[in-house]
Structure 1
Amino acid sequence: MTTTTRRRFGIAGALVGAASAGIAAAAMAKRYAVGRIRLRPDLEASEPFGELGGSSHTLITSDGVALHVEVDGPKERRPPEEGGDDGHDAPLTVVLCHGYCLSLESWHYQRRDLREHHRVVVWDQRSHGRSQRAVSGDTSIDRLGDDLAEVLDQFVPGPCVLVGHSMGGMTIMALADRHPELFGDRVRGVALIATSAGKLAELTLGLPALVSKAVHKVAPTTVSMLGRRGSLVDRTRHAGSDIAFLLTRYMAFGDSKNVSPTLVDFAESMIRATPTEVVADFYPALMNHDKLSALHVLDPVPTAIMVGDQDWLTPPDHSRAMAEALPKAQFIEVPDTSHLIQLERPGAVTDALRDLIKRVGV
């Protein structure tokens, strides 16, 4: 071996060694960060996430997709001999619509607290949770609005309050756009939580302007490519569980230092359960969503608009824009709170919903 060859091997070895050391250091730092977080006091460690009971139903939509729906409330948990039924005589139903890459379980706290006195309907949007994948079906926001109309038709016999988080709020806006006749009589109140009426493609995601612009430029192609290789990506997603934990904690709960590790795990499990192909299917619909002109349909009903001041996914400016379009709406900005506000600040969200129900006055 010549001196030059030995030198080249030595340089290559040094580079490989440095890279390996860097990877090992990054892995140790990641484990250290996750370990420190998990060692903090966890007030939610015993919370029965995913274990709330109710009656389960299946709704076949007009385009053939099976939606998972659950009905809950005081009568739902009583045996028939004590008057248990579907609660069809309840004066008001609260319908909870979840967000992108989540499921009906994301309403854990609100369902737990509201069902004591109200009939509650929760449902998994198409391709999410336990609802059927819309393999060849429509994954537009408009179609989600039509799905909600069918949920109301089958499971809500009387007046209701609609509550939507993130994509769920967009679903309600699509319902208003496509079925305005429902608002005022059937739909008596609306809560739009951590959501947007449009222009999501302009989000900075908490990044510097130039970096954010570059991310948005490559995101559609990247998401589409991942979607085409979805099954392969899904097989490897579990391998990055610590990274997923940290990303979920940062993007969904912001800078909060007191968020429960159990709660982060719960949120991350919902996100991980969403197939990569579904993430890719709905991404263009979210980026193209524009329903600001439909908000006037909500004018006749009490409306609450709620957002965390540290929400980077649907920032406060988007909620303020909706509040400007709905000057009679109650606007609530919760300090030190990020995107998964209903999990991070459940008491504040539930209190806002109770106040909205009082304003509805049914």
Structure 2
Amino acid sequence: MGTEVAKSGSRKRTAGIIGAVVGLAAAGVAAGVATERYLVRRSKQADDPYAEEEFGVWDSDEQLTVTTEEGIDLHVEVVDGPGPTLVFVHGFCLDMGTFHFQRKYFQGKHRMVFYDQPGHGRSGKLKKGEYTLDSLGAGLRAVLAATTPTGPVVLVGHSMGGMTIMALAEQVPELFESRVDAAVLISTSAGKLDQVTFGFPEVVARFRRPLMPVVGFAGPISSAVIDRARRASTDLAWLLTRRYGFGTSRPSPALVSYVEQMNSTTSTEVIARYLRTLYTHARLLVLGPLRDVPVLLVCGDKDVLTPLAHTYEITSVLPEAELVVVADGGHVVLLEHADEVNEAMDSFLTKVLP
């Protein structure tokens, strides 16, 4: 009898401890959510130069679908203008809207081509397997064949878009001898992305590496669960976008929301199927074809996703490249400091184009 009473008392104490822990955890989560929402509200109350900007609203003279060798339909838009044609290639978890301000700035000055990379924006997804930078390079080649089969082009790539251009250079180097007049690489890398610390101390960043295989093989069911959680945590996503996409302390809230919207429309399944190719990307030694054309390199000095050191590595192979470092610029420097990036591009193209 005494033993049963003791067990009962023990169970009650255990239940009490568990209840207290759960209560503290719930209180902590609630406090975290409350803090998160407070920070977002405070951030969004700042004066916003882009509060009235119609992001993602543009004119296009032609819209078409280009199908890749893997059967993925790519959404493509063409804006008419004088040549050479500027072909814009966006980055990971973004879409052609990344070039919102460049599209407005160069309209009427150049013919322009924009497209959404596989699994992004309004383009289709890979039915099975993993996405590769080799296939992205082939996709860019298909877009060029469909929209600009002849005549000179300028390739403009941001982040993964720059890596796509590197893959194209590796696949068809003769294209850079005959048709590519120049290349603009913004916030990109030629490799070693598995060593990026995202601004964390190395001892903390190291823990993400064992998780990569787990994330990389996330199935459609687990991805759907994660996507629902992402949609439910929009305030947190907004804060993370501001932290990892921007370099200024008080970026435009509307601009942060625009980038966060592009991020959120890229599904977790697509993200997982891209990770291996991004983390194993290594093309520093095959950038030779880019030596045959003028290159402009642009990077923000506070980019934590493709740090400035990665741009410096590219200059070690392309010493003739023009380098523009944007102060207080984060990973989406072309949106965050659009005027500086546009002026740098315009000056560069004026110098190097026939």
Same-fold status (TM-score > 0.5): yes
- Structure 2 partner of 1:66: 73
- Structure 1 residue 20 displacement after superposition: 2.5
- 1:118 paired with 2:110, answer yes
Distance, in Å, in 2 between the alignment partners of 1:12 and 1:245 is: 33
- Structure 1 residue 350 displacement after superposition: 1.0
TM-score (norm 2): 0.93
SS of the aligned residue for 1:44 comes to coil
Between 27-36 and 12-21, the greater mean CA deviation after superposition? 12-21
- 1:196 paired with 2:189, answer yes
User: Residue 271 of structure 1 is aligned with which of 259, 263, 280?
Assistant: 263
- 1:231 paired with 2:224, answer yes
Runs of 4+ aligned structure 1 residues displaced above 4 Å come to: 1-10
Q: CA contact under 8 A between 1:56 and 1:70: conserved in structure 2? A: yes
Distance, in Å, in 1 between the alignment partners of 2:10 and 2:206 is: 45
- Structure 1 residue 353 displacement after superposition: 1.4
Q: CA contact under 8 A between 1:73 and 1:117: conserved in structure 2? A: no
* Aligned CA distance change for structure 1 residues 21 and 282 (closer, same or farther; 3 Å): same
| Aligned positions of 1:177-188 closer than 5 A | 177-188=170-181
Count of residues in correspondence between the two structures:
346
- Structure 1 partner of 2:160: 167
Distance, in Å, in 2 between the alignment partners of 1:8 and 1:63 is: 57
- 1:358 paired with 2:350, answer yes
Distance, in Å, in 2 between the alignment partners of 1:108 and 1:359 is: 24
| Aligned positions of 1:200-349 closer than 5 A | 200-225=193-218, 229-254=222-247, 256-349=248-341
Q: CA contact under 8 A between 2:238 and 2:260: conserved in structure 1? A: yes
Distance, in Å, in 1 between the alignment partners of 2:140 and 2:290 is: 16
| Aligned positions of 1:50-199 closer than 5 A | 50-54=56-60, 55-74=62-81, 90-136=82-128, 139-156=131-148, 157-199=150-192
Q: CA contact under 8 A between 1:227 and 1:281: conserved in structure 2? A: no
- 1:45 paired with 2:38, answer no
- Structure 2 partner of 1:27: 33
Unaligned runs of 5+ in 1: 75-89
Distance, in Å, in 1 between the alignment partners of 2:71 and 2:18 is: 58
TM-score (norm 1): 0.91
Question: Which string of whole-angstrom CA distances, capped at 9 and with x for unpartnered residues, describes residues 99-155 of structure 1?
Answer: 001100111000111113111111111111111111136621011111111211221
Structure 2 letter corresponding to 1:348? E
Distance, in Å, in 2 between the alignment partners of 1:131 and 1:234 is: 19
- Structure 1 residue 234 displacement after superposition: 2.0
Q: CA contact under 8 A between 2:102 and 2:338: conserved in structure 1? A: yes
Distance, in Å, in 1 between the alignment partners of 2:184 and 2:174 is: 18
Distance, in Å, in 2 between the alignment partners of 1:40 and 1:279 is: 32
Identity fraction in percent: 40
Distance, in Å, in 1 between the alignment partners of 2:258 and 2:108 is: 23
* Aligned CA distance change for structure 1 residues 4 and 43 (closer, same or farther; 3 Å): same
Unaligned runs of 5+ in 2: none
- Structure 1 partner of 2:23: 17
- Structure 1 residue 222 displacement after superposition: 2.8
What RMSD in Å do the two structures reach over aligned CA positions? Answer: 1.8
SS of the aligned residue for 1:307 comes to strand
Structure 2 letter corresponding to 1:239? A
SS of the aligned residue for 2:292 comes to coil
Structure 2 letter corresponding to 1:305? L
* Aligned CA distance change for structure 1 residues 136 and 13 (closer, same or farther; 3 Å): closer
SS of the aligned residue for 2:163 comes to helix
Between 304-313 and 234-243, the greater mean CA deviation after superposition? 234-243
SS of the aligned residue for 1:153 comes to helix
- Structure 1 residue 328 displacement after superposition: 0.5
- Structure 1 residue 332 displacement after superposition: 1.4
* Aligned CA distance change for structure 1 residues 212 and 60 (closer, same or farther; 3 Å): same
- Structure 1 residue 60 displacement after superposition: 1.6
SS of the aligned residue for 1:225 comes to coil
SS of the aligned residue for 1:118 comes to coil
